[in-house]
Amino acid sequence: MQEIYEKESKESHEKQKELREKDKEPYDYVSKVILVGESSVGKTNILSMYSKGEFNASSKSTLGVEFTSKTLFVKDINLKMQIWDTAGQERFRAVTNSFYKNSSGAFVVFDLTRFSSFNAIDTWIKDLKETAGEKIIIILIGNKSDLEDHRAVTTEEAKMKASSYSKLI
């Protein structure tokens, strides 16, 4: 087990380095943001909608971690957002955890039609804070709001969870 962890950790660090080298656009500030949550809640689609305006109804599960960057011009500065889309599957947990470090913000995503993904939020937040620190800014996202007939988490429940952490929703 230890051996597998060390191998995955090494691979993740090498991947981070390689991606950073590819990502040479000029910027004033860089901010690392991470997307986490159970598998299939829609993290990859949220990111592809944001970065390319594309939705994929049959997207494949993310393996490990994927990286996207977007530079925003905010208050006269170029702010580079490095957005890390992580795999929700349990088998990638060790490798995705190693990417939490140095994140300034995180989107914790759940699926409004799957209560278990909502229940899992507490564990995601606990793990994020343990690795990235208590100061990390966390935003909860209840995804798949279009599937109103299959909704399993009420707005009240989501609001209560968010206010228990005093975070945005």
The footprint of ligand GTP (CB under 6 A) covers: 39-45, 56-59, 61-62, 87-89, 143-144, 146-147
Could you give phi then psi for residue 86, rounded to 5 degrees?
-100, 160
Give 41 or 81: the residue with its C-beta nearer to ligand GTP. 41
CA–CA gap between residue 44 and residue 9 (Å, rounded): 22
Q: Applying CB under 5 A, does 96 fall inside the site for Mg ion?
A: no
DSSP tag of 138: E
**Is 62 a binder of Mg ion (CB under 5 A)?**
yes
Q: Which residue lies nearer to ligand GTP by CB, 62 or 82?
A: 62
Least CB distance from residue 44 to ligand GTP, whole Å? 3
Taken as a whole, the chain contains a residue count of 169
Nearest CB to Mg ion, comparing residues 44 and 68: 44
Cα 159 to chain centroid distance, Å, stands at: 20
Of residues 17 through 56, those in contact with Mg ion by CB under 5 A are 43-44
Nearer to ligand GTP, 32 or 43 (CB): 43
Burial of 61 per CB tally in 10 Å (0-12, 13-18, 19+): exposed
Q: Which one, of 102, 92, 114, lies nearest residue 36 by Cα? A: 92
Residues that bind Mg ion (CB under 5 A): 43-44, 62
